[in-house]
């Protein structure tokens, strides 16, 4: 495990940063993350150089979660255990009522050299705008090459 910053991973590159509420949760594990794993090559063909997954989990959980998928070489699993990055983006989600505490809101950002080109941010409990297909549609629309 390494300590990195999103800034260092995204500077000078075209990247997708996507956030999920939690590792091993149903929508995150069965839909959101797999959508980016499955579409990684297509996103790369549109000029996306990095796929960065952010979740408010500790690095050990993120490492175990990554290992639960057969193919993850194109997605970097990043732990935001203290919620510093999530809060800096203003994308925290209070799920204390459900016993989950503060989490990362589900989102996908299309970023070009640290500038957000598109921000697809979900309403609580939704998964309609932040998947890989929706980001691909934005890439096609913006001719993101």
| 54 in a structural domain | yes
| 40 in a structural domain | yes
Looking at per-residue confidence, does 78 or 95 come out higher? 78
Looking at per-residue confidence, does 17 or 4 come out higher? 17
The CATH number assigned to the domain holding 69 equals 3.40.30.10
Long-range CB contacts (within 8 A, 24+) of 66-70: 68/24, 68/29, 69/33, 69/34, 69/37
| 1 in a structural domain | no
| 87 in a structural domain | yes
Reported confidence tier of residue 1, pLDDT bands at 50, 70, 90: confident
Whether residue 134 contacts residue 120, with contact meaning beta carbons closer than 8 Å, is answered with yes
| 92 in a structural domain | yes
Instruction: Answer yes or no: is pLDDT of 125 > 70.
Output: yes
| 19 in a structural domain | yes
Please state the rounded mean pLDDT for residues 47-72. Answer: 95
pTM to 2 decimal places: 0.92
Instruction: Answer yes or no: is pLDDT of 97 > 90.
Output: no
What is the spatial distance between Cα 129 and Cα 138, in angstroms, rounded to a whole number? 10
**Going by C-beta distance under 8 Å and a sequence separation of 6 or more, which residues neighbour residue 11?**
113, 114
Active-site annotation, residues: 28
| 127 in a structural domain | yes
- Report the number of distinct structural domains present in the chain: 1
Reported confidence tier of residue 145, pLDDT bands at 50, 70, 90: very low
Looking at per-residue confidence, does 111 or 101 come out higher? 111
Please state the rounded mean pLDDT for residues 7-22. Answer: 95
What is the spatial distance between Cα 124 and Cα 143, in angstroms, rounded to a whole number? 30
Reported confidence tier of residue 53, pLDDT bands at 50, 70, 90: very high
Range of the domain at 125: 6-142
């Amino acid at each position: 495990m390494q300590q990195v910053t999103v800034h260092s991973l995204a500077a000078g590159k075209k990247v997708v940063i996507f956030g999920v509420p939690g590792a091993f949760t149903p929508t995150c594990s069965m839909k959101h993350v797999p959508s980016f794993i499955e579409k990684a090559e297509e996103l790369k063909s549109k000029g996306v150089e990095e796929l960065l997954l952010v979740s408010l989990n500790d690095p050990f959980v993120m490492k175990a979660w990554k290992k639960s998928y057969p193919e993850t070489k194109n997605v970097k699993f990043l732990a935001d255990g203290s919620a510093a990055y999530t809060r800096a983006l203003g994308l925290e989600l209070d799920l204390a009522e459900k016993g989950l505490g503060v989490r990362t809101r589900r989102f996908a950002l299309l970023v070009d050299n640290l500038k957000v080109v598109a921000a697809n941010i979900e309403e609580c409990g939704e998964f309609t705008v932040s998947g890989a297909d929706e980001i691909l549609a934005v890439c096609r629309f913006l001719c993101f090459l």
